[in-house]
Amino acid sequence: MALGIYLVLFLISLVLTLTYALLWHKHFSVYLTLIYLVIPIALIGYVLEASAETLEASLNGTKIIYIGGSYLLLFVLLSIFNICGIKYSKRLSVSLIGLSTFIYLTVFSIGFLPIFYKSASYVALPDGHRIIKEYGPMHGVFLAIIIGYFIVSIATIIYSYFEKMEVPNIIIAFLLIAEIISVLGYFLGRAITDKIELTPFTYILSQVMFLLIARKICVYDVTDSAIDSIVQAGETGIISLDFKHRYLGSNKTAKDIIPVLFDIKVDTPVEKYEELKDILIPWIETFRADETDDKFYLKRGSKTYLVDINYLFNGNRMMGYQFLITDDTKNQEYIALLDNYNSSLQKEVEEKTSHIREMSNRLILDMAIMVESRDNSTGGHIRRTADCVSMIVDEMKKDNRFNLSEEFYKNVIKAAPMHDLGKIAVDDAILRKPGKFTPEEFEEMKKHAAEGARIVHEVLKDTDDAYFHLIAENVAHYHHERFDGSGYPEGLKGDTIPLEARIMAIADVYDALVSKRVYKDSMSFEQADAIIMDGMGKHFDEKLRPYYESARPKLEEYYSSLEETPA
């Protein structure tokens, strides 16, 4: 009977491990993943031990079982540290793993030396067998370490409950339950029956609890993803709530604007805070009544902030609300000034503003042309790629399945010439090399993407066109990312790559294929098209395929009309 139960538990464990793999998120710690690897291995030990017909076979199964005993509570402890944001040195984790490994190595003395077990004998029973064992000194050390891991884990959970405002209470509760379940398995043993170990059941329960924890981490990590995309300490404040108006998180900028956010604990309904209730709830109600009414103003001292509310997404699933807060003081001052002056002065201000923007755009374009003049393989590349982007965008406007504004389309076209600005920082010896790069040279060349984003950011950071600033920075930074995650510099995947960069990628590669370079001849349109189409879903966004296909005749006509494709 025991063998059948252990086998079923092993299969359940495999299903739970597969479920975890499907739920896996890049922010999960490696130790959380190791929990789901160790438990099935330990359960294999129970299956082998229960099916053993000799002492040697039984002890071999026991040695596998002790993998769980030696490592599981350690991995649980390190997972708790990561989930609760407890900082610890790499040296500590390596030392603890080394200690557990040393203890586990002594397990292999079973049956040979009286270190872990002093003795062990096999007793056959009508419905199975029993191992009668006398524990050795290292087994006592093993139990002491388990108890130590448990005490530190419980202390960390209690500390996080009182001191870690960013850790939701529900996750703390799940961690506590998972820890207690894990320890019960070790110390209850055969308390219920002497025929079946309780530990494998607690392993399964622990896996279930950590699946619930992983699921919650995914929900609360929506805030981290949003903050990462706009920069934690940037100029834009971010506040996230779920649909029940529970606080999910905010960045430092938002907290500086609304200081009460420093004191609110994650997962707390904002209605408990009068200031937030009076501000956020009316905005949500207005937005829910009319989703186009998504902009509000917030006065704080001498400053006026523009608040843009939208839905918060996790993939394609709406999770709640997100507030983006930007300093709009200058714009409001301009508006007040224009209201107090006559129409001629208003026209003059608008002309000057337009002139400043034009100068800024011209400066960036001149920088792009200067960079291109250094690169003997991309002459005319920025003009051609900008034209290619324009043709693809024209096709996207026709059905507008992405529900994008005219401003977005204009900004993408305007940003296209800036995509290779980062090459200004690449050494001439590499940039002008008339052949393929060595791996080391290619690594240097790859740095141009992040460097380009930095340059665009610095040039545009003081402009009042934040939307264009973001799009231009994204185009420079991410136009070499691939849809399957194999690109650079960040290895972004799928829709995490900004749409403007996905559009730029098609235009950039198409021009490289059909243009002549010093190290290659131009490809035929048919060859280039085959490569682009084959890259859909891998290099390029499959959703952009229809627009590329519609633009293809215009692209071919355009390149055919060029008198000479520069080398």
Alpha-carbon distance 215 to 25, whole Å? 10
Q: Topology of 231-336 in CATH? A: Beta-Lactamase (3.30.450)
pLDDT single digits (tens) 488-547: 999 999 999 999 999 999 999 999 899 877 667 789 999 999 999 999 999 999 999 999
Residue 163 has pLDDT above 80, yes or no: yes
User: What integer best gives the mean pLDDT of the chain?
Assistant: 84
Give the range with max mean pLDDT: 212-221, 363-372, 463-472: 463-472
Taking residues 124-153, report their average pLDDT: 87
Alpha-carbon distance 400 to 392, whole Å? 12
- Report CA-CA distances (Å) from 475 to 385, 399, 417, 508: 12, 23, 9, 11
Residue 134's DSSP bridge partners are: 119
Taking residues 71-98, report their average pLDDT: 89
Q: Is the bond preceding residue 439 a cis peptide, omega within 30 degrees?
A: no
Identify the band that residue 566 occupies on the pLDDT scale cut at 50, 70 and 90.
very low
Residue type, 491: G
How many CB atoms sit inside 10 A of residue 65's CB? 23
Closest to 72 in 3D by CA, of 181, 154, 198: 181
Greater pLDDT, 28 or 113: 113
Alpha-carbon distance 205 to 211, whole Å? 10
Residue 128 has pLDDT above 80, yes or no: no
What pLDDT, on a 0 to 100 scale, did the predictor assign at position 345?
Answer: 53
What pLDDT, on a 0 to 100 scale, did the predictor assign at position 227?
Answer: 46
pLDDT single digits (tens) 200-237: 888 898 889 888 888 777 666 555 555 455 445 467 88
- Report CA-CA distances (Å) from 28 to 35, 49, 179, 330, 494: 12, 33, 18, 42, 19
Residue type, 308: D
Cβ atoms of 385 and 509 within 8 Å: the answer is no
What pLDDT, on a 0 to 100 scale, did the predictor assign at position 501?
Answer: 94
DSSP assignment of 364-379: HHHHHHHHHHH-TT-T
pLDDT single digits (tens) 424-464: 878 877 777 777 788 888 888 888 899 989 988 888 877 77
Greater pLDDT, 565 or 109: 109
Cβ atoms of 106 and 136 within 8 Å: the answer is no
What pLDDT, on a 0 to 100 scale, did the predictor assign at position 285?
Answer: 93
Q: Encoding tokens for residue 48? A: 């082998």
Residue 169 has pLDDT above 90, yes or no: no
Cβ atoms of 149 and 73 within 8 Å: the answer is yes
What pLDDT, on a 0 to 100 scale, did the predictor assign at position 231?
Answer: 46
Alpha-carbon distance 52 to 3, whole Å? 10
Taking residues 379-406, report their average pLDDT: 88
Alpha-carbon distance 266 to 167, whole Å? 6
Percent of the chain having pLDDT more than 90? 38
* Backbone torsions φ then ψ of 3, nearest 5 degrees: -60, -45
* Backbone torsions φ then ψ of 73, nearest 5 degrees: -65, -30
Chain CA centroid to CA 137, Å: 46
Taking residues 235-249, report their average pLDDT: 89
* Backbone torsions φ then ψ of 108, nearest 5 degrees: -70, -10
What pLDDT, on a 0 to 100 scale, did the predictor assign at position 552?
Answer: 95
DSSP assignment of 427-491: -HHHHT-SSPPPHHHHHHHHTHHHHHHHHHHHHHTTSS-HHHHHHHHHHHHHTT--TTS--SSS-
Q: Which pTM does this prediction carry? A: 0.46
Taking residues 25-41, report their average pLDDT: 85
Q: Topology of 2-224 in CATH? A: Rhopdopsin 7-helix transmembrane proteins (1.20.1070)
pLDDT single digits (tens) 277-334: 999 999 999 999 998 899 999 998 888 999 999 998 765 678 899 999 998 888 887 7
For tokens 């399957």, the residue is 484
Cβ atoms of 198 and 191 within 8 Å: the answer is yes
Residue 564 has pLDDT above 80, yes or no: no
Tell the burial category of 162 from Cβ atoms under 10 Å away from its Cβ (0-12, 13-18, 19+): exposed
Residue 349 has pLDDT above 60, yes or no: no
Alpha-carbon distance 313 to 319, whole Å? 5
Residue 376 has pLDDT above 90, yes or no: no
> How many Cα neighbours within 13 Å face the side chain of 556?
12
What pLDDT, on a 0 to 100 scale, did the predictor assign at position 359?
Answer: 53
Q: Encoding tokens for residue 97? A: 């793993």
Residue 133 has pLDDT above 60, yes or no: yes
Is 37 strand, coil or helix? helix
Residue 561 has pLDDT above 70, yes or no: yes
CATH architecture, domain 343-561: Orthogonal Bundle (1.10)
Q: Which residues contact residue 481 at a Cβ distance below 8 angstroms, ignoring those fewer than 6 apart?
A: 487, 488, 490, 491, 492, 497, 501, 505
Chain CA centroid to CA 41, Å: 29
For tokens 């834009």, the residue is 236
Closest to 471 in 3D by CA, of 401, 550, 411: 411
Alpha-carbon distance 329 to 462, whole Å? 14
Residue 180 has pLDDT above 70, yes or no: yes
Closest to 48 in 3D by CA, of 35, 36, 59: 59
What pLDDT, on a 0 to 100 scale, did the predictor assign at position 496?
Answer: 94
C-alpha gyration radius of the chain: 31
* Backbone torsions φ then ψ of 351, nearest 5 degrees: -65, -40
Residue 517's DSSP bridge partners are: 520
What pLDDT, on a 0 to 100 scale, did the predictor assign at position 393?
Answer: 94
Domain boundary assignment for the chain: 2-224, 231-336, 343-561
Q: Which residues contact residue 244 at a Cβ distance below 8 angstroms, ignoring those fewer than 6 apart?
A: 269
